[in-house]
Amino acid sequence: MQEIRIEMTKNPKQKPAPGTALGFGKIFTDHMFIMNYDEGQGWHDARIVPYGPIPLDPAAMCLHYGQEVFEGLKAYRTPEGKISLFRPDRNMARLNNSNERLCIPKIDEAFAVEATKKLVEIDQDWIPTEEGTSLYIRPFIFATDPMVGVHPAHHLLFVIILSPVGAYYPEGLNPVKIYVEKNYVRAVRGGLGFAKTAANYAASLKAQQEAEDEKYTQVLWLDGVERKYVEEVGTMNVFFVIGDEIVTPALQGSILPGVTRMSAVEMLKSWGLKVSERRISIDEIAQAYKDGKLTEAFGTGTAAVISPIGELKWGDVKMIINNGEIGELSQKLYDNLTGIQFGKLEDPYGWTVKF
Ligand SMILES: *Cc1c(COP(=O)(O)O)cnc(C)c1O
């Protein structure tokens, strides 16, 4: 495995005082990981250096054509004082799937996990310890070739930065309000939907802004072709509890394969529950609601873990789910997933990496 050169900062920053409202992704730690890719040399010069600006040529290709991919995971402080990561191998495997789609040279997944551990270890005093807080880890790769011409890059940077975060939603675990997006689409099969890449978010900003203007938290995307089948929520995958079946849309190319989604499916199945990954139309959901069978809906993602949906609006139809309160299953999933992530519960699945 490659050596990682380490240069410690001479000017450590002031850490947020205990009890400070951290928000999400606003504060960054003292160090960052960087590695270069140059054609002919491959990935090289891995280093951990003081956090700071990265010089870029104004013609750098990432700025013009969006050749960029990213990941998101968290480090947690366990009650014994260890550091815990949740399924980092899944994140690095997904990073390579995104790389493949964006014509970015693959990284060594095991090395990327080691680099993440090393960086978190160096900045471990930045892991906040209040209930529900953690250290968000953002690995990302972008094209730096100074060339205004559309072509896959020959020069790239792989960077990892860290950010102490509070609860993702200001409302906390309170159910969120979501509406079904009718005007815009996020992704289509054959496009970029399954890749974690900036372009998907560029496509979603307008819808997000309009939702916030109407006091909704996020939108629920429908498929981009028939505008009929449910895909996912802004930054989360989505689940519906209908009668005795728990349904989440099948991964068919336009949906981001969430690590939290995968873990929720595995956990629910291990509890002997009926989980289906299948196509589900918005009509089916509205009908289930009418019939009184839609008992819970929730989103899954690293940032919020489980985010119950209290209201789902589809045109004039306003579905108030479980009286707008968190459902039993959503709560149980949240407690068990976060319990394992924070090292408060035993991890029978072998998902956590503790060091
Ligand atoms: C990252 C992401 C998710 C959630 O994935 P996790 O691995 O569970 O964090 C869901 N949808 C989109 C669009 C995402 O970018």
Average pLDDT value for residue range 187-209: 95
CA of 237 to the centre of ligand 1 (A): 7
User: Quick one: pLDDT band at residue 77, thresholds 50, 70, 90?
Assistant: very high
Give the pLDDT of residue 171: 52
Cβ of 261 less than 6 Å from ligand 1: yes
Average pLDDT value for residue range 206-217: 95
Spacing of C-alpha 299 from chain mean position: 11
Which residues, 6+ apart, have CB-to-CB distance to 353 below 8 Å?
Answer: 84, 85, 86, 88, 113, 117
130: DSSP letter: S
For residue 22, the SS3 value is coil
Cα–Cα distance, 93 to 91 (Å, whole number): 5
Indicate which residue's Cα is closest to atom 3 of ligand 1.
Answer: 236
Average pLDDT value for residue range 338-349: 96
CA of 236 to the centre of ligand 1 (A): 5
Average pLDDT value for residue range 181-195: 95
CA of 41 to the centre of ligand 1 (A): 32
Q: Which atom of ligand 1 is nearest to the CA of 260?
A: 8
Average pLDDT value for residue range 77-100: 97
Q: Which atom of ligand 1 is nearest to the CA of 259?
A: 7
Cβ of 260 less than 6 Å from ligand 1: yes
Cβ of 235 less than 6 Å from ligand 1: yes
Give the pLDDT of residue 2: 86
Tens of pLDDT, residues 106-159: 999 999 999 999 999 999 999 999 888 999 999 999 999 999 999 999 999 999
Rounded to two decimals, the pTM is 0.96
Mutate to test the pocket of ligand 1, among 89, 205, 302 (most ligand atoms within 8 A of CB): 302
Q: Which atom of ligand 1 is nearest to the CA of 94?
A: 7
Cβ of 232 less than 6 Å from ligand 1: yes
CA of 292 to the centre of ligand 1 (A): 29
Which residues, 6+ apart, have CB-to-CB distance to 155 below 8 Å?
Answer: 36, 37, 38, 39, 143, 144, 145
Cβ of 196 less than 6 Å from ligand 1: yes
Tens of pLDDT, residues 282-310: 999 999 999 999 999 999 999 989 999 99
Average pLDDT value for residue range 243-265: 97
pLDDT-above-90 percentage for the chain: 93
Q: Are strands 42-50 and 5-6 parallel, antiparallel or unpaired?
A: parallel
Indicate which residue's Cα is closest to atom 10 of ligand 1.
Answer: 236
Indicate which residue's Cα is closest to atom 6 of ligand 1.
Answer: 258
Give the lowest-confidence range in 19-28, 235-244, 269-278, 312-321: 19-28
What one-character-per-residue DSSP string does 154-186 give? SEEEEEEEEEEE--SSTTTTSPEEEEE-SS---
Distances (CA, A) of 338 to 75, 211, 335: 12, 28, 5
- Higher model confidence: residue 334 or residue 168? 334
Cβ of 12 less than 6 Å from ligand 1: no
Check: CB of residue 190 under 8 Å from CB of residue 253.
yes
Go through the domains of the chain in sequence order and give each one's CATH number.
Answer: 5-165 (3.30.470.10), 176-341 (3.20.10.10)
Average pLDDT value for residue range 85-102: 98
User: Quick one: pLDDT band at residue 172, thresholds 50, 70, 90?
Assistant: low
Give the pLDDT of residue 131: 85
Mutate to test the pocket of ligand 1, among 134, 185, 196 (most ligand atoms within 8 A of CB): 196
322: DSSP letter: G
Residue 255 pLDDT more than 70? yes
Residue ranges of the alpha helices (H) in 250-352?
Answer: 259-270, 282-290, 328-341
Q: Which residue, chain included where needed, has tokens 């309160």?
A: 325
CA of 33 to the centre of ligand 1 (A): 22
Cβ of 87 less than 6 Å from ligand 1: no
User: Quick one: pLDDT band at residue 193, thresholds 50, 70, 90?
Assistant: very high
Average pLDDT value for residue range 237-264: 97
CA of 149 to the centre of ligand 1 (A): 31
pLDDT-above-70 percentage for the chain: 98
Cβ of 301 less than 6 Å from ligand 1: yes
Q: Which atom of ligand 1 is nearest to the CA of 91?
A: 7
Cβ of 67 less than 6 Å from ligand 1: no
Give the pLDDT of residue 169: 56
Q: Which residue, chain included where needed, has tokens 């509070």?
A: 166
For residue 194, the SS3 value is coil
